[in-house]
Amino acid sequence: MLYWLYEILNINILGYITIRAGLSFFLALFFTLFLMPRFIKWAKRTSSVQPINNYAPDRHKEKEKTPTMGGVVFIGATILASLLTIKFSNLYAIGAVMTLLFFALIGFQDDYAKIKKNENLAGLRARTKLLLQVISALIIACYLCIFADFNTDLYLPFIKTPILDMGMFSVFLWILVVVATSNAVNLTDGLDGLATVPSITALSSFTIIIYITGHATISSYLLMPNFDVGEVAIVSSALMGALTGFLWHNCHPAEVFMGDSGSLAIGAFLGYLAIISKSEILLLLIGSIFVIETLSVILQVGSYKLRKKRVFLMAPIHHHFEMKKWAENKIIVRFWIIAILSNLVALMTLKIR
């Protein structure tokens, strides 16, 4: 809509991506801050609360009356703010909105099933959820290939030219990136605000990278690939604003949880940003906390199956520190610090090519 005002009424300031990204941030922030308290009241009234896993540390029992599915609000706010500010003719921005919507719907189905049965493990079956994620990621990958005619080259950090053209094999990589990141964020979402701030820092990094990738002059100066993806920075900025509003209610002690409707969508969106910015490998550093959490689960499961021994007291790794009697705030803030530092390093690498 705002870009339409620029074209029709010639309001030049609205033609700038940076201005519309800022507006999308504050619109999504406002929508979330306005709607979330009302959602929390509704969730408490209808008992739409978080069922706690029986295997979780004992301190989690006190959270069993906390409303969940907050992702419905902040993802909805993100999509609304994006639709008000993006240029609709940009296929990459439309793909970004599609990614958020598809994975939020998958998460909503999972959250709703848990609430309805009042059982943490009674959501979508793991195979069903994974299948829906793969199908959604396949649709997004095919959309990029067929409609957006997106470049299929593979880039590595520190190297200014692509190392190979993956061709149709890029679809398989893109599906892997989107699905893996979606589940990684979902695994991390176990403590109050633990997944929220690392998501905001990762989005901040990708917003900068996306803007540079979409800017011919800056990308040329930094020897980075150049594609017409700058408009996606507006969607990313909107999600940052929505998550900031969500954090207001999600910081310890949390008044609401994001649920799978939020975590799956955030992760898939981060994967999408990595793909269109040619930063699939750099994603490992930008999303370091999500990588650490996922690796802890892989190591725990693999070690137990092979050696019948556990590496950690409990996985994901944030539960390990809970079992060691670390205060919840200490775990959360230290993970936040790691996320911020790793993203600063990731941004530093942009100049080293």
pLDDT band at 12 (very low <50, low <70, confident <90, very high): confident
pLDDT tens digits, residue range 168-221? 899 999 999 999 999 999 999 989 899 999 999 999 999 999 999 999 999 999
- The alpha-carbon radius of gyration of the chain (Å, integer) is 20
In this prediction, residues 115-124 reach a mean pLDDT of 69
pLDDT for residue 53 is more than 80: no
Q: What angle do CA 146, 77, 230 make, to 5 degrees?
A: 45
pLDDT band at 329 (very low <50, low <70, confident <90, very high): very high
Query: What is the C-alpha separation between 221 and 344, in angstroms, rounded?
Result: 20
Over the range 227-263, which residues count as b (16 or more CB within 10 Å of their CB) and which as e? bebbbbbbbbbbbbbbbbbbbebbeeebbbbbbbbbb
Higher pLDDT, 80 or 9: 80
pLDDT band at 308 (very low <50, low <70, confident <90, very high): confident
Read off the tokens for 40: 């929390």
Most confidently modeled range among 6-20, 118-132, 135-149: 135-149
The single residue listed with the structure tokens 């809970």 is 322
213 and 226 in contact (C-beta within 8 Å)? Answer: yes
114 and 51 in contact (C-beta within 8 Å)? Answer: yes
Please list the alpha-helical segments (H only) found in the chain. 2-9, 17-45, 71-85, 91-117, 126-142, 169-188, 196-213, 216-221, 232-250, 259-276, 283-286, 288-307, 317-323, 328-348
Q: What is the pLDDT of residue 50?
A: 67
Q: What is the pLDDT of residue 7?
A: 62
Q: Return the closest-CA partner of residue 348 out of 290, 269, 282, 273.
A: 282
pLDDT-above-70 percentage for the chain = 92
Mean pLDDT of the chain: 91
pLDDT for residue 93 is more than 90: yes
C-beta atoms surrounding 9 within 10 Å? 9
pLDDT for residue 116 is more than 60: yes
Q: What is the pLDDT of residue 9?
A: 66
Query: What is the C-alpha separation between 43 and 49, in angstroms, rounded?
Result: 7
Read off the tokens for 324: 């060691």
DSSP secondary structure string for all residues of 330-349: HHHHHHHHHHHHHHHHHHHG
Q: What is the pLDDT of residue 159?
A: 87
pLDDT band at 250 (very low <50, low <70, confident <90, very high): very high
Q: Is 54 exposed, middle or buried (0-12, 13-18, 19+ CB in 10 A)?
A: exposed
Query: What is the C-alpha separation between 239 and 135, in angstroms, rounded?
Result: 23
Query: What is the C-alpha separation between 351 and 353, in angstroms, rounded?
Result: 6
pLDDT-above-90 percentage for the chain = 75
In this prediction, residues 131-148 reach a mean pLDDT of 96
